[in-house]
Chain A
């Protein structure tokens, strides 16, 4: 089974800082169809998760351009260029073909 590891359980940041969240897979996530179905979600307190990035680097409609996704193979990163208050919460990576979530990284104020 595929395991997604988000090394940091919590990441303290200051508003306006850049933040990077890492997600590493136990194996390559390149699917046989050539796509990599790696997504990023944000769960704000008391809310359902929301899709930010799909297929590694595609920003979902309405997601601010300060969010960007990158990576390939088994190593992926979500970057937030300038953290705003509404960005605080828990970030999860997810691989769709295996149905596996990472453990989550809580972005919190320093």
Chain B
């Protein structure tokens, strides 16, 4: 059964770095791509970036200077790090998996992790 579970701190202070982990099961990170998508509270969805099955990464151009996505295939984990957090980075962060290689369709979503940026 395919599952993705996000974890990380619920509260981050302004200007600090957010570190999130997506732990997956039921599939291999070398077979499918994993994405990060976020949703500011009460707003729409924003695509953040991708860890491709072959280890390549791609990022939303608006976040690229602050964002890094990496993985540990032995632990079935994908990591998100974003620095210089501000209050408008508050929201729910999801990791997702694609339908098939390079399909771009987000077929499985985690339950999301709520991140609040506040002093």
Contact = CB atoms under 8 A, between A and B. Distances in A.
A41 B111 CA distance: 15
Given A48-B110, A48-B111, A49-B109, A37 B45 contact: no
Given A1-B61, A60-B99, A96 B105 contact: yes
Interface residues of A, number: 23
B112 interface: yes
Contacts of A60: 99, 105, 107
B-side interface mostly: loop
A28 interface: no
Interface string A31-61: 0000001010101000011110011000010
Nearest to B47: A99
Instruction: Please tell me the size bucket of the interface on B.
Output: 20 to 34
Contact of B104 (A50, A90, A97): A97
A92 B109 contact: no
B99 A51 contact: yes
B104 A39 contact: yes
Interface string B53-80: 0000010110000000000000000000
A84 B69 CA distance: 39
A48 B107 contact: no
28 contacts: A1-B61, A37-B103, A39-B104, A39-B106, A41-B106, A43-B45, A48-B111, A48-B112, A49-B94, A49-B106, A50-B109, A51-B106, A54-B99, A54-B103, A60-B99, A60-B107, A90-B44, A92-B45, A94-B45, A94-B47, A94-B106, A96-B103, A99-B47, A99-B49, A99-B50, A100-B47, A101-B44, A103-B44
Given A51-B99, A60-B105, 17 more contacts: A39-B104, A39-B105, A39-B106, A48-B94, A48-B109, A50-B109, A55-B103, A55-B105, A60-B107, A92-B45, A94-B47, A94-B106, A96-B103, A99-B50, A101-B44, A101-B46, A102-B44
